[in-house]
Chain A
Amino acid sequence: MIEVADLRKSYGRFDAVSGVSFTVGQGEILGFLGPNGAGKTTTMRILTGFMAATSGRVTVAGHDVFKSPLEAKRSVGYLPELPPVYPDLDVTSFLDFCARIKGVKPADRKSRIDRAVEKARLGDVRTKIIGRLSKGFRQRVGIAQAILADPPVLILDEPTAGLDPQQIIETRDLIKSLGGDHTIILSTHILPEVSMTCHRVVIISKGRVVAEDTPQNLTARLSSQGAIRVQVRADTRTAFDALRDVEGIVTVNPRGGDSDHTVLELEPLAGVDIRAATARAIIGANIDLLSLTQVSLSLEDVFLELTTKDAATISEVAPAPIFTPIAASEPGDPPAPPQEPAPSAEPTEPKETH
């Protein structure tokens, strides 16, 4: 339904999008994921014909976006980041205007508007001036506008941004209900949204696709590493010392704690189960082991992993500097890392705790 081939968009020397390719099948909901500035909005704007690409090819519902823009636009409903609504019009007149410029037949106009109002649950505010509506309602007016002409393709740029939790759930349900009839691309940086609504995810970072898979597979790709998290009653230094000789541990990253206890995350060599050895080493050093849990990577971790590192290192996660000392350790006496491959150029940022 949507084919994007080697899409590029440059501003002078800066490439906002550099060689993005993907396809979306009929009735599929594709999640478009990436940090801010990754090129999501730029890509979507090119798909909708809002801006021209520097090079590449985009086909929407069989129409080349650059060669036959009007036909392509007729088959796309687009919700930009900022809902494109006129604050001085009321909801019905706004939708009526949209129906006219989207080429809805005069005879169908009323029924289409009614349907869009019903789907976007705008019934109570039909006659209200858009400028007086809350952000959530304006967003819904934007969605109503996108689905108004019943286009085969919907492109939604952060459809849940700025909504309250109840509205987010409603919007997700709406999007899910639209899938099947419509082919949907939806961009977001809220990760649970992707696993909840999308069939497939394309992760882009710095204008490139770094991963493309189902949400389940993406999570599975990284959760097999068997990282564990331990909470011990000791300071970081002591805990490090205790773990130094455990075989199979590749990295130890402090993950917070206070004067009373320390939390560490341990990443093992691929395929090694380090749980028992770690527990033994801690008890053996006469330290209280408060908890030991397996870290199952969420989509958040996958996302961070993919967007903060090179795509090439996804499968064999690059060893980061280990035994990173924190404030507690004395200067000039850094704990010696065990025999270890050359540290990678960029240190791993401590991941956010979840």
Chain B
Amino acid sequence: MSTFTNIGAIVRKEWQHYFGSPIAYTALFTWNALFAVFFQFALTYFLEASMNPGGGMGGPPKPNINEWIFRPTLMNMAVVALFVAPMLTMRLFAEEQRQGTWELLATSPITDWQIVLGKFFGAVSVYALMIATSLLNFAVIFYYAEPRPEWKPVLTGALALLLMGSCFIALGAFLSTLTRNQIVAGILSFCLFLAIWTLSWLDNPMASDPVKVLAYLGVTNHMDDMVKGVLDTKDIVFYLSFIGFGLFLTQQSVESRRWRE
């Protein structure tokens, strides 16, 4: 019971930091602005394609809203997550170290796991809020489009975005434990996220086995099916294990401080 109240207390405090400083507003603004831009582009392409008189008998099929608007927008946002996640994670532990507040957390009757989980969920919930607010853009389509587009792929796509971003957040939290300088933590996280993202480029049927393994770790690859509306256990398990591993590294790093310090 006290486990949840402790985690809850940390989540609450993280929110007070995020919204007591420009961080949350900057992240929300950047995310929503870019979402709107990508959405606008996709919408324009879609409209142009629909107007194209090349359709009709024997021509290409009519463009589908899910495929032409929702999917590309969500996939583009995966790249935006790569920029925004370090904003949310860089100060998580580095700032506590620098301010000396780590001494408060470490000497309170609360376990390292509770601190790590509290901070992780604090960041993830802000990120979830970003996704939720940006999905309002799609509401316009659901309101006007005839026939109605499918809503399930939008939900699974948003879930994919959330899981993928959570992987970045878990890793970013770990990197933030390694330094007391949040800028260093931010840059390290960004470089690592970028490297992980590029891994997905390696994915091609001709690749050798080791390359395939690397490509498998590219977190964006596992979004493809979910964004199409296919919820595969394999992808969920991948994301959850990735997050679990990141959090495990974080907890280990936090615990090892007791011995290093």
Contacts and interface: CB of A to CB of B under 8 A. Distances in A.
A and B associate: yes
Measured as residues with beta carbon below 8 angstroms from the partner, the interface class of chain A is 20 to 34
Interface string A86-98: 1111000100011
B106 A49 contact: yes
Given A78-B107, A101-B105, A103-B2, A87 B99 contact: yes
B9 A78 contact: no
Given A51-B258, A51-B261, A84 B109 contact: no
A87 B5 CA distance: 23
A89 B20 CA distance: 8
Contact of B109 (A45, A50, A74, A145): A74
B17 A84 contact: no
Interface in A96-135: 97-98, 100-103
Nearest to A49: B107
Nearest to B114: A101
B6 A80 contact: no
A88 B21 contact: yes
Interface string B17-36: 10011000000000000000
B101 to A, nearest CB: 5
* B20, B101, B107 — most chain A CB neighbours (10 Å): B107
B12 interface: yes
A103 B103 CA distance: 17
B99 A80 contact: no
Interface string B58-69: 000000000000
Interface in B83-115: 99-111
A276 to B, nearest CB: 58
B16 interface: yes
A89 B14 CA distance: 11
Given A73-B107, A73-B108, A93-B16, A101 B100 contact: no
B108 A50 contact: no
Most chain A CB inside 10 Å of its own CB: which residue of B6, B108, B258: B108
A120 to B, nearest CB: 15
Given A100-B9, A101-B9, A103-B2, A52 B259 contact: yes
Contact of B104 (A51, A84, A100): A84
B152 interface: no
A50 B105 CA distance: 9
A48 interface: yes
B10 interface: yes
A86 B16 CA distance: 10
Contact of A84 (B16, B99, B110): B99
A283 interface: no
Interface in A26-62: 45, 48-52
A284 to B, nearest CB: 63
Contacts of A98: 104, 108
B108 A102 contact: yes
B182 to A, nearest CB: 14
Contact of B103 (A50, A70, A97): A50
A103 B109 contact: yes
B100 A84 contact: yes
Contacts of B258: 50-52
A204 to B, nearest CB: 19
Nearest to B18: A88
Contacts of A103: 2, 6, 109
A74 B20 CA distance: 29
Contacts of B259: 51-52
A82 interface: yes
A121 B30 CA distance: 43
A103 B5 CA distance: 9
Closest 6 CB pairs of A and B: A100-B9, A84-B104, A82-B100, A74-B109, A48-B107, A80-B103
Interface of B: 2, 5-6, 8-10, 12-13, 16-17, 20-21, 99-111, 257-259, 261
21 contacts: A45-B103, A45-B261, A49-B106, A50-B107, A50-B258, A52-B259, A70-B109, A74-B109, A78-B103, A78-B104, A78-B107, A82-B100, A82-B103, A84-B102, A86-B17, A89-B13, A89-B20, A97-B13, A101-B108, A102-B109, A103-B6
